[in-house]
Amino acid sequence: MENLRCLHCGSANYWLNGSHNGIQRYKCKECRRYFSDKPRKFNYADKQKALDMVMNNCGIRKTARFIGCSPYMVMLWIKEAANYLKEEDLTSTEEIIEMDEIYTKVKKTET
């Protein structure tokens, strides 16, 4: 494929690296990471829609059901967006804590 690029660094410099379940795998010569030509299940627009829903007070589980993915995947997208904002220094000095319908129970042990 002449227009195939590495998903990680965008380089067009790669070599064939076998196949898995009938899908051709490639290895990037620049960043040394693996990728395939299989289309991704969730594109950028899906991720953006999920982030918009979460930022507008829609719960993580409800967002996941709407998009068709797992709540864990939505959490990964949120962390990915937060890391991007940190790298680009687009965050303010204030920190925002947001609660969701997912809670963790912590049992206090008596000493």
Across the range 74-103, mean pLDDT stands at 71
Across the range 96-109, mean pLDDT stands at 54
pLDDT at 61 over 90: yes
Predicted structure pTM score: 0.54
CA-based radius of gyration for the chain: 19
**Average pLDDT value over all residues in the chain:** 81
Which two three-digit tokens encode residue 110? Answer: 């008596």
How confident is the model at residue 28, as a pLDDT?
92
